[in-house]
Amino acid sequence: MTPALRPKAEQDLFLREKLSAPAAQSAILAWAVRGCRDWLEHGLGTCAAVEASTAAYHEEQDRSGGFLRDCCRFGTVERVATKELTRAYLRWCEDENTKPLSGKDLGARLRKRGCSDTKSNGARYWCGVRLLRDDEEPDTAAGTAGTAEGHQFPRPSPKRSHEATSRDLLSSADPGDPGEDEDTFADYVEREVGPCS
């Protein structure tokens, strides 16, 4: 059991016995099964602010993402010499005060984006990517979906909101559930533990 967070005077000293009662155990099991069904049907849900923060963190930690977004154009007909791409990447890392990835790791990131390396007339090339020309702007659509500022995402999460309480989960009638005992237990759990959301 977790340590009690309530003052001693407010603690239920008989909680263990109450939770050990057959009716309580039946209600707990029914609640857990409903929760599992809900999870299987709707998933855990997400939060746009957490998604934005996670995406920003990953981008911040990705030592090649900024270069690939700001300095490269991706497409099936694009091609760049490996030496030229590497020089531009190392220059970008120096300008950004970022430790560069090894050539192997940078290559893995390019392959993840669908690029492939090839050799032609004794020179190595990356197919599927090229460096932006000085007169071109970075393709912001190639970055992450949405914006960190304003939290506008083009694909809202289909997951359910987490407004349901333990009473909501327990009170939906199923054949064979303990009924009133369950409602009483749900009230008790919400009062003593708080809402399950």
Q: What is the pLDDT of residue 2?
A: 52
- Residue 9 domain-assigned? no
Q: What is the 3-state secondary structure (H, E, C) of the chain?
A: CCCCCCCHHHCCCCHHHHHHCHHHHHHHHHHHHHHHHHHHHHCCCCCHHHHHHHHHHHHHHCCCHHHHHHHEEEEEEEEEEHHHHHHHHHHHHHHHCCCCCCHHHHHHHHHHCCCEEEEECCEEEEEEEEECCCCCCCCHHHCCCCECCCCECCCCCCCCCCCCCHHHHHHCCCCCCCCHHHHHHHHHHHHHCCCCC
Q: How confident is the model at residue 100 (pLDDT cuts 50, 70, 90)?
A: very high
- Residue 106 domain-assigned? yes
- Residue 13 domain-assigned? no
Do 37 and 105 belong to one domain?
A: no
Q: Is the pTM of this model over 0.75?
A: no
- Residue 10 domain-assigned? no
- Residue 152 domain-assigned? no
Could you tell me the CATH number of the domain that includes residue 124? 1.10.10.10
Do 81 and 125 belong to one domain?
A: yes
Boundaries of domain holding 41? 18-45+165-192
Do 131 and 187 belong to one domain?
A: no
Do 31 and 98 belong to one domain?
A: no
Do 91 and 120 belong to one domain?
A: yes
Do 90 and 133 belong to one domain?
A: yes
Calculate the average pLDDT of the chain. 75
Tally of structural domains, the chain: 2
* Residue that terminates a domain, selected from 127, 142, 157: 142
Do 97 and 29 belong to one domain?
A: no
Do 113 and 87 belong to one domain?
A: yes
Q: What is the pLDDT of residues 5-43, one digit of tens each?
A: 778 888 888 889 999 999 999 999 999 999 889 888 888
Do 70 and 136 belong to one domain?
A: yes
Q: What is the pLDDT of residues 129-159, one digit of tens each?
A: 999 998 888 876 543 322 223 333 233 333 3
Do 173 and 105 belong to one domain?
A: no
- Residue 156 domain-assigned? no
- Residue 8 domain-assigned? no
- Residue 97 domain-assigned? yes
Do 109 and 174 belong to one domain?
A: no
Do 81 and 118 belong to one domain?
A: yes
Q: Is the pLDDT of residue 189 over 90?
A: no
